């Protein structure tokens, strides 16, 4: 039986990032500790998986990129670009929307993880939820497991500070007569369902609220990631696993921290996310590229730094696609990530039927890619100790 996760170990996961943010004198210490993490070597050269482009035309994956400074309007435009939300959500559907709210539990007057690039912006989530209701969705659930069993969704405030996600969910529910629910998955999941993974534990528990729904939409914020190169719409599904509530056979008690450290390479780290996404079968990705995180993300506590895209492109950016692998590959290339990293991670997603990965197989609307690419400081690949 493995020993329980200690507070020190949780800090290495970035759980302590927001705690540290409330006492900024602690941040240099966190960063210094992270510099001690052993760096992994760059993998040996491998064949270019995109050397022979596939036929494009009608079979090309479609990714829509929208620039601007009005995030709700940009989200709506991106949805229209992929055929409209009605092409995904049908009348009577129950919809699960998965944001990245990793450090939301520690949001405060002096620590804003949304402006800090760590969490998905409220503006995108509200626009997606309302579009789903307008398409006739019977219910929209916005949920994440985050890093605490329960957390206050009202701490997710809009960038202008005028509203928050709780008030907006109430407004939409009243206006449309159908509920928008905000769910802390770890505390409110009715059942944890095991799905297979190719990694050493062999299976992973996923919230029934995600698996027992009609449509799943991933709405991540774009970040580079200390243990997985980058975190986008596929990696976002790590957040539908429980913190510390499941165990299997001889492995004993297994929590999300142990899942992170047991298979340590960036490839294995993303293999878990790919296996979860394969089971979940998400229908749509909306990528928040307004204020993200560069460097050793996914949080300040792990060494990440907020990056405001409008300072790079003159405007914010929202990507949308019904092809999650294509959305993530495009976002990673816009973020200037090494091509071998894109292929190593998203080649797995392509092989598991999650979509296209090669630039030659993707129809980018709102490009060209070269006009959107920017310097986005990469993470230094490392491992948990």
What pLDDT sits at residue 211?
98
For residues 35 and 54, give the distance between their C-alpha atoms in angstroms, rounded to a whole number.
Answer: 42
In a domain, 21, yes or no: yes
pLDDT of residue 41: 54
Distance CA 334, CA 336 (A): 5
Bridge partners of 78, per DSSP, are: none
238 pLDDT above the threshold of 60: yes
- The pLDDT of residue 161: 96
**How confident is the model at residue 254, as a pLDDT?**
54
Residue 139 lies in a domain: yes
Q: Is residue 385 part of a domain?
A: no
d(CA 41, CA 136): 50
Q: Is residue 380 part of a domain?
A: no
How would you classify the pairing of strands 215-219 and 284-295?
parallel
- Which of the pair, 96 or 263, is modelled with greater confidence? 96
Among 38-42, 262-266, 300-304, the range of highest mean pLDDT:
300-304
Residue-wise pLDDT tens digits, 119-161: 999 999 999 999 999 999 999 999 999 988 899 999 999 999 9
Give the DSSP per-residue string, 46-100. Answer: ---TTSSPPP-GGGSEEEEEEEES-HHHHHHHHHHHTT-GGGT--TT-EEEEEE-
Structural domain range at position 20: 7-372
Reduced to 3 states (helix: H, G, I; strand: E, B; else coil), residue 104 is helix
Dihedral-angle region of residue 61 (phi above 0 means left; psi in -120 to 50 means alpha; beta otherwise): beta
Tally the C-alpha atoms within 13 A of residue 278's C-alpha that lie toward its C-beta.
20
The CA distances from residue 360 to 62, 318, 326, 350, in Å, are 11, 21, 11, 14
**Residue 260 belongs to a domain:** yes
pLDDT band at 7 (very low <50, low <70, confident <90, very high): very low
Of 149, 51, 94, 116, which is closest to residue 293 (Cα–Cα)?
A: 116
Q: How many domains does the chain have?
A: 1
In a domain, 1, yes or no: no
Q: pLDDT digit string (tens) for 208-230?
A: 999 999 999 999 999 999 889 99
Which pTM value belongs to this model? 0.86
């Amino acid at each position: 039986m493995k020993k329980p996760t200690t507070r020190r170990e949780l800090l290495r996961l970035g759980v302590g990032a927001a705690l540290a943010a409330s006492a900024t004198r602690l941040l240099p210490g966190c960063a210094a500790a992270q510099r001690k993490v052993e760096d992994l070597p760059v993998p040996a050269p491998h064949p270019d998986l995109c050397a022979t482009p596939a036929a494009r035309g009608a079979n090309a994956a479609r990714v829509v990129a929208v620039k601007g400074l009005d995030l709700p309007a940009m989200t709506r435009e991106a949805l229209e670009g992929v055929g409209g939300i009605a092409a995904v959500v049908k009348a009577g559907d129950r919809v699960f929307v998965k944001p990245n709210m990793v450090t939301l539990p520690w949001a405060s007057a002096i620590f804003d993880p949304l402006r800090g690039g760590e969490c998905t912006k409220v503006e995108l989530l509200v626009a997606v939820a309302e579009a789903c209701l307008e398409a006739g969705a019977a219910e929209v659930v916005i949920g994440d497991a985050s890093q605490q069993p329960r957390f206050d969704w009202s701490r997710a405030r809009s960038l202008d500070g005028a509203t928050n996600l709780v008030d907006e969910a109430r407004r939409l529910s009243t206006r449309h007569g159908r509920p928008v629910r905000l769910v802390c998955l770890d505390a409110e999941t009715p059942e944890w369902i095991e799905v297979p993974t190719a990694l050493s534990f062999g299976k992973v528990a996923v919230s029934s609220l995600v698996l027992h729904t009609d449509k799943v939409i991933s709405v991540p914020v774009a970040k580079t990631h200390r243990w997985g190169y980058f975190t986008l719409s596929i990696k976002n599904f790590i957040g539908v696993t429980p913190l510390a509530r499941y165990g299997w056979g001889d492995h004993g008690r297994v929590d999300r921290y142990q899942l992170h450290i047991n298979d340590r390479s960036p490839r294995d780290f993303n293999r878990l996310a790919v296996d979860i996404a394969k089971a979940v079968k998400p229908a749509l990705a909306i990528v928040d590229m307004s204020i993200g995180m560069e460097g050793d993300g996914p949080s300040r506590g792990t060494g990440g730094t907020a990056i405001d895209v409008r300072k790079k492109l003159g405007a914010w950016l929202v990507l949308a696609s019904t092809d999650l692998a294509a959305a993530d590959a495009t976002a990673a290339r816009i973020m200037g990530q090494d091509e071998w990293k894109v292929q190593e991670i998203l080649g797995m997603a392509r092989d598991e039927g999650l979509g296209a990965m090669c630039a030659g197989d993707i129809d980018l609307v709102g490009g060209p890619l070269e006009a959107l690419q920017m310097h986005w400081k990469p993470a230094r690949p490392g491992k948990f100790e």
